[in-house]
Amino acid sequence: MRTIVTTLGTDRVRRLRATLTVLLAAAAAGYVPFYFAPFQVFQLTMVLLYAVALSGLNLLVGFGGQISLGHGAFFAAGAYTAAVMLDRHDTGHLATLPVAAAGCFLLGLGFGVPALRLRGLYLALVTLSFAVFLPPLLKRLEPLTGGSMGLTVEKLQPPAWSGLAEDQWTYFVVLVVTTVALLLARNLLRSRVGRALLALRDNESAAEVMGVRLSLHKTLAFAWSAMFAGVAGCLYTWVIGFVSPDSFSFVLSVTLLAGLVVGGLASLYGPLLGAAFVMYVPSVSQDLDEAAPGVVFGLLIIAVMYVAPTGLAGLPGRVRGLVARRLPRPAAAPDRTPETGSPPDARPEPQAGDGPFATPGPADPAVVDAEPVGAPPRTEKE
């Protein structure tokens, strides 16, 4: 009750706050390429691009509840679409984006149909074997894809009027595409489609009874999600200017899923955090050992699943909840006093709710669902 009143009261403050946050973020994002060195700007560009792929995967895994271990394949499809168009047909960069998006949407639609009959584990199996199959297929289609040598294409070049360096121009282009993509994902989830997906994830039968069309929405979720991965792949070609089958091995698919889980499933900010994680953890730990990123990734994924199923994005909320639960409730204190005379083995009742057993078990599904869709990690409710 108290929460509701507070929420209503802070509605205007909240809107003001949101506007301010957006303005600040925009200012920071605009300032960044002029402050950092080209290599760091490049890294930030890669973070943005991964965020697009992760937000697509999030649609499928976080909100749709379907497991894909093959999103690297859609990423590769987008990247190769762009590379082949640039290399063979010289279409210019902008034209490749809609083609990659539409192509991957259709590819995802094609995959979504068998995915309807495959639940959970089996879908993971099929997408995994697809991801393993793709690199050799790309090598085989040599006349088109350049075989195992890959394709080298022109990177994005800044137009003369902008007066920007190559890395800065690329950054801004990717920033625009990423912003549009993330907004699209956000609005998609707040629409009829998003609500239908959530309902299906939480209880398929109940959702169907309520009139949600299961087959349509599950297939579409796959298609949307593949489209985002394809767009990210297209951006990848723009930024790197080189594609080869070995860049899109099975490891990429696993890394994407890992990044999403660590960043936060079913959260709108999770993909951004996860993308930063995917980009920076390898580059930082690579100095120690070639294998260090994998060790860190693997351990973190397992640890996140145990202690924070909501990922980095959900961490602040969880910590607050935990602290609130540990602190003694003021109203409960007087009730407890008369019971102190009872025998020691009769455990005072309120303790059961306050003790360590009350903390949500590892991977408690209810906790994931408890995060309201689209709401930022709530920090205003002190």
Partner 1 sequence: MSVVTDLLQQVVEGLGSGAVYASLALALVLIHRFTGIVNFAQGELAMLSTYVAWQLVASGMPFWLALPVTLAVSFAGGMLVERLVIRPVQGAPELTVVIVTVGLFIFVNALAGLVWSFTVKDFPQPFPDGGLYLAGVRLDWSTLGMIAVVAVVMGLLYLLFQHTSIGLVMRAVAGNPASARLSGIRVGRVLMLGWGLAATVGAVSGVLVAPVLFLEPNMMGGVLVYAFAAATLGGFDSPVGAVVGGLFVGVAETLTGAYVDVIGADLKVGVPLVIILAVLLVRPQGLFGRAAVERA
Residues making contact with partner 1 (CB under 8 A): 61, 65, 67, 69, 114, 117-118, 120-122, 124-126, 128-130, 132-133, 136-137, 139-140, 204-205, 250, 254, 257-258, 261, 289-295, 297-302, 305-306, 309, 362-363, 365
* CB-neighbour burial class of residue 300 (10 A; exposed 0-12, middle 13-18, buried 19+): middle
At how many degrees (to 10) do helices 71-84 and 120-140 cross?
A: 30
95 in Cβ contact with 103 (< 8 Å): no
CB of 67 or CB of 188, closer to partner 1: 67
Task: Report residue 281 as tokens.
Answer: 């953890």
- Spatial distance between the Cα atoms of 166 and 57, rounded to a whole number of angstroms: 29
Nearer to partner 1, 156 or 261 (CB): 261
Q: How far is the CB of 54 from partner 1 (least distance, A)?
A: 14
In sequence order, the 6+-apart residues with CB closer than 8 A to the CB of 266 are 58, 62, 63, 310, 368, 369, 371, 373
DSSP letter for each residue of 249-272 = SHHHHHHHHHHHHHH-TT-SSHHH
353 or 362, CB closer to partner 1?
A: 362
Q: How far is the CB of 33 from partner 1 (least distance, A)?
A: 32
Q: Where are the beta strands (DSSP E) in 78-212?
A: 151-152
Residue 115: CB minimum distance to partner 1, A: 10
Nearer to partner 1, 44 or 256 (CB): 256
Please answer whether residues 173 and 238 qualify as being in contact, where contact means their C-beta atoms are separated by less than 8 angstroms: yes
Least distance CB 153 / partner 1 (angstroms): 24
Closest to partner 1 by CB, 147 vs 241, is: 147
Cβ of residue 11: shortest distance to partner 1, in angstroms?
Answer: 34
Amino acid in position 44: L
Q: How far is the CB of 70 from partner 1 (least distance, A)?
A: 10
As measured in angstroms, the least distance from the Cβ of 349 to partner 1 is 27
CB of 301 to partner 1, least distance (A): 3
Based on CB atoms, which residue is closest to partner 1, 63 or 238? Answer: 63
Would you say 30 or 365 has its CB closer to partner 1?
Answer: 365
Question: Measuring CA to CA, how many Å separate 97 from each of 63, 78, 91, 173, 224?
Answer: 25, 8, 11, 12, 15
Among residues 202, 219, 274, which one has the least CA distance to residue 53? Answer: 274
Least distance (Å) between residue 371 CB and partner 1: 15
60/84 with CB nearer partner 1: 60
Q: Could you give the CA distance from residue 86 to residue 81 in angstroms, rounded to a whole number?
A: 9
CB 139 to partner 1: min, Å: 7
Q: Which is nearer to partner 1, 132 or 370 (CB)?
A: 132
Beta carbons of 64 and 82 less than 8 angstroms apart: no
- The tally of CA atoms less than 13 A away on the side-chain side of residue 120 is 2
Alpha carbon distance 241, 368 (integer Å) = 39
Closer residue to partner 1 in complex, CB, 98/298: 298
With 0-12 / 13-18 / 19 or more C-beta atoms within 10 angstroms meaning exposed / middle / buried, residue 17 is middle
